[in-house]
Structure 1
Amino acid sequence: MRHNKWWLLVLALVLGLVLTACSGASDSTEDDNAGENESAEEKVLRISSPSDIPTMDPILAEDNVSIQYTDTVYEGLYRLAPEGEIVSGIAKKDETEVSEDGLTYTFHLREDAKWENGDPVTAQDFVYGWQRAINPDNKSFYANYLMSGKIKNAAEIYAGDLEPSELGVSAPDDYTFVVELEKPVPYFESYAAFPTFLPMNKEFIEEQGDDFALKPENMLSNGPFKMTEWNAEAGWKLEKNETYWDAENVALDGINVKVIKEPDTALSNYEVGELDRVTLYGSQVNDNQTSPEYNSLAETSVFWMKFNQESKTASKYMQNENFRKALAKAFNKQAYIDVVYGNDSTPVNYFVPKGFVKHPETEEDFQQGSDVLAYDVEAAQELWATAKQELGFEEVTLTFLSGDSDVAKSISEFMKGELESNLEGLTIEPNNVPWSQQLEIMRNKEYELAVSGWGPDYKDAISFVDLWVTGGENNDIAYSNKEYDALVNAAKGELATKPVERFEAMQEAEKIALEDAAIAPIMQRKTSVLAKDYVKGMDSLNPFGNDYSFKYVDIVK
């Protein structure tokens, strides 16, 4: 989540962070003397992150920071290469077998893959990892979201009606892993590269117990890097994993990440040579656009304002369509981008990104244009007046949830100013909390308004349109529309083998949700960065899943 990816584009969004797969990256270093302590021969990437890692347990990862670094420490069946290409991981992609009905996948694993402690990575590790993910005792909402209704018996297991051992996965031998689906999943290849579907070493996890993944010593890597230090709110270090099966093709010796919530502080670190790469925000973008080290990276992450229709304090307002539409149309999206990011992100009136997927026949982009929720103060005020009559109020106060970084705080301030100025009688009270806390609050539907976003978990529009199905794991706005549900469920079911009808059903579903003002679209983000010319392999973002593939990053001086 970018998410999902939510992807649910997780980005630890410096702007409130995106769920995913979603989706802001990290930028930093280990400590103030990092550059002095590294030898000239070492290739250590120094970057920063606007937040700590919420979790390093892959089955609990649902934001882009957690997804980025679990993907870096572990490896699943497949892996994302630059530009989002899906390549072999533990499984040999060109040997994967798919049954004629699309319901059975047989993966053949490489025999030279090892865990950090020397144990071989086997098919049983995948069986255990996937069963652990869907076990309801482990509370992996993301596993439920991704597996239920797709992998055999997953929904029943998560509901507690079957044991995890009944999941449709098996290991005929140490290096053959078989997955049984309940229905064809057109994007299943993308699943095989997503962190929720990682293998896990059962013996190691059982030894760690509740301490698993809390510290570097409680983790066991099988990926290109291993974590060696992790200090809450300060940063973390990773080193090349020499036991990784493809270690000879991993260029970096390490990655040092420092948590820096203030963009100006991060930029200062870059300017004095303590960071190799930094993300820019607000006026920083305009100030540095002429620099030869500047780059603007296209994303498939979309951001929106959410209305919690199950809010204990404001549900009667949030359930009113005119009330939601008034809020959605009352703020200037281009001004939001200019103030918060200062870059060339695109204001949008949709939630499935442009440039992500194309019509299977015509190759037209999924997005064909919509203005139903476009910025329009006059229309917003008319809708507001109607909502006041329908609900019988003259004044209302709403809390606005966002992160606690400088960028997130600027979002709160901007939205407060726009909404209060344009909608008479409205008061906005910002609630800025750490990113991990914001995730929990949204998950528990204990908010009124919030800014969030989504980076896709896999290369299919369903990663976005499935978000708002009634009762869905990622539907933290409590939106419900029977027609919408029917279209999305058809796209996940009977239309799975009818690509044209399926694609158009998803387009129609998005149209319905926009007409209902289920959410208020804001922008499709671009990331502005400064990077030293010696940093190679980070000049684009993956279109789904984790933002970067650190396996392929290099430092060439």
Structure 2
Amino acid sequence: MKKSFLVFCLLISMFIISCGKSGNDGKSAAFNIEAEPTSLDPQVLTDISGFMVTNMTYEPLVRLNEKNEVVPAGAESWTKSEDGKVWTFKIRQGMKWSNGDPVTGKDYFNGIKRGIDPKTRSEYSILTFYIENAENFNNGTIKDFGQVGVKLKDDYTLEFTLSKPAPFFIKTLIMPVYFPVNEKALATNGEAYATEADKSIYNGPFIMEEWEHNSKVVMKKNPNYWNAQNIKLDTLTATIVADLDAATNFFENKELDLTRISVEKMESYKGKPELHTVPDGRVYYFGFNRSNPVLKNIKIRQALSLAIDRKQLVDSVLNGVGLPASGVVALGNAGEKGDFRKEAGDLFAQFSNTTPKQLFDEGLKELNITPAQVKLKLTVDEKGTGKKEAEFYQAQWKEKLGIDVEVEVLTTKERIARAKAGEFDIVRYGWGPDYADPMTYLEIFHSKSKDLNFAKYSNPEYDKLIDLAKVNQDNKTRMDAMKKAEKLLSDDFTYSALYYQVGVYLINPNLKGVVLRSVGDSVDFYSAYITK
């Protein structure tokens, strides 16, 4: 799942990369997912590591091609009613699960129902709320799923009825919450479903053969896959190496074919064919826990955010590979006439003449406390530049505000769990776009967004603007609403954007057809193959 930008793209940034593998048989590739997936249950997973694996082991209704266009996958075709509310999908006949069972419309229906069911506690259930009564079923207002706008018309026809037209609805169908579920596999494995490689069955281009937790996920080509003749790799291994310097060593030892690289080691690869720099749409930001009495004060939150020199962060910590953030929506998303970010402007500009220390002192005075009484902890994960960034933030707060902030470094899985449980003071978080629209960033901060809105931002006016932008068919009206909403969010400082990421990858020059994109699955091996 979203450094000076070397390339800016209008909607989404994508490169087809040629790179190569030293696999024993010329048909194996290994890549680094950096962190143990939070889950490999499609309706439950929340992170990009899980998405990169499940996108290869399950077949969604639609996929993105190398141009990031929506193309048929589990559904061979679809139609949309004139009013934009009813979408009808024809499920591809002849598909099989990895155990030989036929894949039918009921499997997709089961998966979608499970994603909406409140018992599943799917964080991505929010993506289904465009469907009539999906939100009401998810929050328990209605108990009968028959009232939800998902209907199985026959064995191979699935129909969605939306509460209001949503122009980008089909783009959301690439997400795992819409993936199919085999009833037999779910019943057989119960609560253990998808917790191990052999606790599920698969209908995607690959079958998960091994999941060695915190080490690797091994996938083998699925002979039952409907498009197996066009899947060129026999084995795909997702390796979990959090330290990018260590991952670079694996790459140099020909144990990895693709990995992100640390900004420090990037210099030694400049000008070499292995190095690829790709704008990826991801934004990193602070989340402030307002249940902490100190952070409840907006001036304290403002001071902590504005004390960070974002340009220095990008230049010195990220080695120039990034862009200082000016709002939570990254560059590369269409606005009214051009790029949304450029149209919305720099939301921190209004504070250019504000002194963070002055804000901090005013906040302390309002709270009637001294700097020594401010005890805060910053939570980051071990992945990528997390630890290095934490040291920078610590130094900035010490220099500009005169406070010592403790740093807690966790695994990505632990950091996500702590955030969802509200067990943090300040947490560094990242979000990448699930589909090509500014809404993919903004909807997660809606008050009904549950765990994705982990800092519990709540503003009725923000919710009203987002609700309007979700359903309005006029592009200018939608964009105006989202620009106003983003400014409300930014001015509150419950969340505060830091920088936009550019993915810097090392890729073996013999591995071809890999697609790197800034929306959905960031690394797509569907068309990958090895040359010698």
Q: TM-score, normalised by structure 2?
A: 0.91
Hey, what's the Cα distance between the residues in 2 that align with 1:292 and 1:489? Answer: 46
Q: Which residue of 2 aligns with 1:108?
A: 90
Letter in 2 for 1:513: L
Question: Does residue 75 of structure 1 match 2:80?
Answer: no
Query: Over aligned residues, Cα RMSD in angstroms?
Result: 2.3
Letter in 1 for 2:321: D
Out of 519, 524, 547, the residue aligned to residue 500 of structure 2 is 524
Out of 158, 171, 184, the residue aligned to residue 138 of structure 2 is 158
| Residues 1:414 and 1:180: Cα distance change in structure 2 (over 3 Å) | same
Question: Does residue 329 of structure 1 match 2:310?
Answer: no
| Residues 1:120 and 1:373: Cα distance change in structure 2 (over 3 Å) | farther
Hey, what's the Cα distance between the residues in 1 that align with 2:354 and 2:262? Answer: 30
Hey, what's the Cα distance between the residues in 1 that align with 2:261 and 2:430? Answer: 18
The DSSP-based 3-state class of the residue aligned with 2:387 is helix
Question: Does residue 400 of structure 1 match 2:378?
Answer: yes
Hey, what's the Cα distance between the residues in 2 that align with 1:377 and 1:54? Answer: 42
Q: Deviations over 1:182-230 (max 9, x none)?
A: 1111211112221110111112211111221111111211111111111
Letter in 2 for 1:440: A
| Residues 1:342 and 1:83: Cα distance change in structure 2 (over 3 Å) | farther
Out of 17, 38, 42, the residue aligned to residue 58 of structure 1 is 42
Q: Which residue of 2 aligns with 1:498?
A: 474
| Residues 1:340 and 1:120: Cα distance change in structure 2 (over 3 Å) | farther
Hey, what's the Cα distance between the residues in 2 that align with 1:440 and 1:555? Answer: 38
Which ranges in structure 1 are unaligned for 5 or more consecutive residues? 3-8, 10-20, 24-28
Q: Which residue of 1 aligns with 2:280?
A: 299
Letter in 2 for 1:67: F
Q: Which residue of 1 aligns with 2:217?
A: 236
| Residues 1:548 and 1:121: Cα distance change in structure 2 (over 3 Å) | same
Question: Does residue 249 of structure 1 match 2:226?
Answer: no
Hey, what's the Cα distance between the residues in 2 that align with 1:329 and 1:50? Answer: 30
| Residues 1:44 and 1:339: Cα distance change in structure 2 (over 3 Å) | farther
What is the deviation of 1:335?
2.9
Hey, what's the Cα distance between the residues in 1 that align with 2:260 and 2:339? Answer: 32
Letter in 1 for 2:138: Y
Q: Which residue of 2 aligns with 1:512?
A: 488
Out of 409, 416, 427, the residue aligned to residue 439 of structure 1 is 416
User: Is contact 2:340–2:438 with CA below 8 Å preserved after alignment?
Assistant: no
User: Is contact 2:329–2:442 with CA below 8 Å preserved after alignment?
Assistant: yes
Hey, what's the Cα distance between the residues in 1 that align with 2:79 and 2:234? Answer: 35
User: Is contact 2:347–2:487 with CA below 8 Å preserved after alignment?
Assistant: no
Which ranges in structure 2 are unaligned for 5 or more consecutive residues? 3-11, 15-19
After superposition, residues 469-508 of structure 1 pair within 5 angstroms as 469-473=446-450, 474-493=452-471, 496-508=472-484
Hey, what's the Cα distance between the residues in 2 that align with 1:373 and 1:250? Answer: 49
User: Is contact 1:351–1:521 with CA below 8 Å preserved after alignment?
Assistant: yes
Q: Which residue of 2 aligns with 1:542?
A: 517
Q: Deviations over 1:3-47 (max 9, x none)?
A: xxxxxx4xxxxxxxxxxx9x9xxxxx9xxxx96xx533x311122
Which stretch shifts more, 49-58 or 398-407? 398-407
What is the deviation of 1:318?
2.0
Hey, what's the Cα distance between the residues in 1 that align with 2:353 and 2:211? Answer: 47
Hey, what's the Cα distance between the residues in 2 that align with 1:166 and 1:406? Answer: 45
Hey, what's the Cα distance between the residues in 2 that align with 1:177 and 1:406? Answer: 41
After superposition, residues 118-517 of structure 1 pair within 5 angstroms as 118-143=100-125, 145-148=126-129, 150-160=130-140, 161-310=142-291, 314=292, 316-359=293-336, 362-368=337-343, 369-372=345-348, 379-395=355-371, 396-405=374-383, 407-424=385-402, 426-473=403-450, 474-493=452-471, 496-517=472-493
User: Is contact 1:281–1:340 with CA below 8 Å preserved after alignment?
Assistant: no
The DSSP-based 3-state class of the residue aligned with 2:405 is strand
What is the deviation of 1:523?
0.9
User: Is contact 1:83–1:542 with CA below 8 Å preserved after alignment?
Assistant: no
Question: Does residue 39 of structure 1 match 2:24?
Answer: yes
Q: Deviations over 1:324-372 (max 9, x none)?
A: 111111112233234443242111121111112232xx33544332152
The DSSP-based 3-state class of the residue aligned with 2:100 is coil
User: Is contact 2:56–2:206 with CA below 8 Å preserved after alignment?
Assistant: yes
What is the deviation of 1:282?
2.8
User: Is contact 1:238–1:255 with CA below 8 Å preserved after alignment?
Assistant: yes
User: Is contact 2:37–2:45 with CA below 8 Å preserved after alignment?
Assistant: no
Hey, what's the Cα distance between the residues in 1 that align with 2:65 and 2:162? Answer: 26
After superposition, residues 2-21 of structure 1 pair within 5 angstroms as 2=1, 9=2
The DSSP-based 3-state class of the residue aligned with 1:477 is coil
What is the deviation of 1:508?
1.6
The DSSP-based 3-state class of the residue aligned with 2:404 is strand
Q: Deviations over 1:357-404 (max 9, x none)?
A: 232xx3354433215268969621221122122222222111111113
The DSSP-based 3-state class of the residue aligned with 2:75 is coil
Letter in 1 for 2:453: N
Letter in 2 for 1:152: E
- Give the count of matched residue pairs: 512
User: Is contact 1:282–1:339 with CA below 8 Å preserved after alignment?
Assistant: no
Hey, what's the Cα distance between the residues in 2 that align with 1:446 and 1:423? Answer: 24
User: Is contact 1:491–1:506 with CA below 8 Å preserved after alignment?
Assistant: yes
The DSSP-based 3-state class of the residue aligned with 1:397 is coil
Out of 514, 526, 530, the residue aligned to residue 551 of structure 1 is 526
Q: Which residue of 2 aligns with 1:89?
A: 73
Hey, what's the Cα distance between the residues in 1 that align with 2:448 and 2:473? Answer: 25
User: Is contact 1:377–1:422 with CA below 8 Å preserved after alignment?
Assistant: no
What is the deviation of 1:58?
0.4
Hey, what's the Cα distance between the residues in 2 that align with 1:363 and 1:265? Answer: 40
Hey, what's the Cα distance between the residues in 2 that align with 1:505 and 1:533? Answer: 45
Letter in 2 for 1:546: D
Hey, what's the Cα distance between the residues in 2 that align with 1:299 and 1:366? Answer: 15
What is the deviation of 1:471?
4.2
| Residues 1:374 and 1:415: Cα distance change in structure 2 (over 3 Å) | farther
Q: TM-score, normalised by structure 1?
A: 0.87
Hey, what's the Cα distance between the residues in 1 that align with 2:480 and 2:272? Answer: 43
| Residues 1:333 and 1:377: Cα distance change in structure 2 (over 3 Å) | farther
Identity of matched residues, %: 27
